[in-house]
Amino acid sequence: VLSGCGVYDGTEIHEASAILVHLSRGGAEVQMYAPDVPQMHVIDHSKGQPAEAESRNVLVESARIARGKIASLAKLTTADHDAVIFPGGFGAAKNLSTFAVDGKDCKVNGEVERVLKDFHKAGKPIGLCCISPVLAAKVLSGAEVTVGHEEEEGGRWPYAGTAGAIKELGGKHCVKEVTISFPVNFHAERQFTHVDTKNKVVTTPAFMCETELHNIFDGIGAMVKNVLKLTGK
C-alpha cells in the first residue's frame, strides 16, 4: 500500500523498492494499491520546502513507483491476498493518516483502517516499516511494533520521539536495531525486526535511523521474510 512518491510527502521510494525486491525474491505475487485522495501537500524535494501552488493525487503519484500497475485502495480485499505491507515515508503520516499533524490524536484514512482491521480479523500478516507502524498502533489496540530506538542518540535516531507516541496510541514499542551486532547468531534478524506473533504484525525501523542504505535493505528483507513466513505458504 503506497502513499505517494517521495519521502517527504509520500512513499519512501527506496523502502518501496526494497520491499518489492524481497517479495520478488521470495516468490510472491504483488498487487499495489494507494488511496485515491489528494496529498496533504506537495514538497519540493530539492529544497525541502512545500510547493504552495501545487496539488497532487496520492494514487496518481504512487503509480510512478508501481510503473502504472496500481489500483485504488478501495478495491483491496482481504480474500484476494495473503498479506499486506506498508512502506514508510512521510506519506504514511500525512496521506494515510494525520499523524504528522495530530500525533497521538491522529485519524487514519478510512480505507487504510478498513484494510488493517480486515487483515487482522482474518489472521493474515501485516508488514510495516519506518513511520508506518504508527498506523497499526492506532488501529490495532495493543499491537507490538518497532520504530527503532527511543532516544535520538546524537541524531542517529532523529525520529525517536515516535516511540513515545506509539505508547500513547495504545501500542507497545519494542527497541530494535538497523544493523546486526557481531558475532552473528542464528537469530540475528530478530535484532532489526519485531514480530508480534499474536497480531501477526511485523515491523522494522528502516529510515527511522540515519544509516547506510544496505542496512535499510537488509532490515526490510527480514521484515518481508517474516511476513511471508506468517502466511504459511
Dihedral angle, C-alpha 138, 143, 148, 151, nearest 10 °: 70
- The Cα–Cα gap between 232 and 221 comes to 17
**129 has catalytic annotation:** no
Residue 119 vs residues 6, 58, 123, 160, 162: alpha-carbon distances, Å: 27, 22, 6, 28, 24
Q: What is each CA distance from 130 to 47, 157, 202, 226, in whole angstroms? A: 22, 11, 12, 16
By 3-state DSSP, what share of the chain in percent is helix, strand and coil, each rounded to 5? Answer: 40, 15, 45
Catalytic residue from among 129, 130, 174, 209: 130
Q: CA 210, CA 221: separation in Å to the nearest integer?
A: 18
Report the candidate in 191, 182, 186, 86 with the shortest Cα–Cα distance to residue 129. Answer: 86
> What are the grid coordinates assigned to 229, written together?
513466513
DSSP state of 154: T
Task: Using DSSP, state whether 44 is helix, strand or coil.
Answer: strand
Which are the catalytic amino acids?
Answer: 130
